[in-house]
Amino acid sequence: MRESVQAEVMMSFLVSEELAFRIPVELGYEAADPYAVQLTFHLPGDAPVSWTFGRELLVDGVAGPCGDGDVHIAPDDPELLSDVLITLQVGTEQAVFRAGVAPLIAFLDRTDKLVPLGQERSMAGFDSLLDQALDRILAEEQSAG
């Protein structure tokens, strides 16, 4: 069974109103951490930077503004639903990225096929139950041998 979903999308890094450049961004989702998505930004000349936040935040941000704290996501133009702005903040510094809605929805659809929205709790518990069962089997084999 597949346990992760990966995708690469191009996003615009909005440096200012006059300056933006396109960068590759890896999207990642792991069934072992079913509530979270990870975005890894590949900025020119810098080491990749990863941000992890709630999958539901990305889902909600495609349709309307949302987010508290360090991550805010909102449609660039709510009437068109063609682009999403992702704002990441550390202290007083912030970075804004524009992404097309279509590749984000395709990625989220694939995550939903792996772990349906609303069923994360059952998947999160599965890994710990599997680990417990394997630990019991190994302990039994070691005591028998």
Q: What is the pLDDT of residue 126?
A: 55
Q: Give the tens place of pLDDT for each residue, 89-106.
A: 999 999 999 999 999 999
Residues above pLDDT 90, as percent of the chain: 66
pTM: 0.80
What's the structural domain count of the chain? 1
Report yes or no on 140 lying in a domain. Answer: no
Q: Helix H segments across the chain?
A: 55-63, 101-114, 120-144
Domain span at residue 16 reads 4-119
Report yes or no on 136 lying in a domain. Answer: no
Residue 33 belongs to domain with CATH number = 2.30.31.20
Q: How far apart are CA 64 and CA 51, in angstroms?
A: 20
Report yes or no on 27 lying in a domain. Answer: yes
Q: How far apart are CA 75 and CA 64, in angstroms?
A: 6
| Interval 57-78 mean pLDDT | 93
Q: What is the pLDDT of residue 28?
A: 98
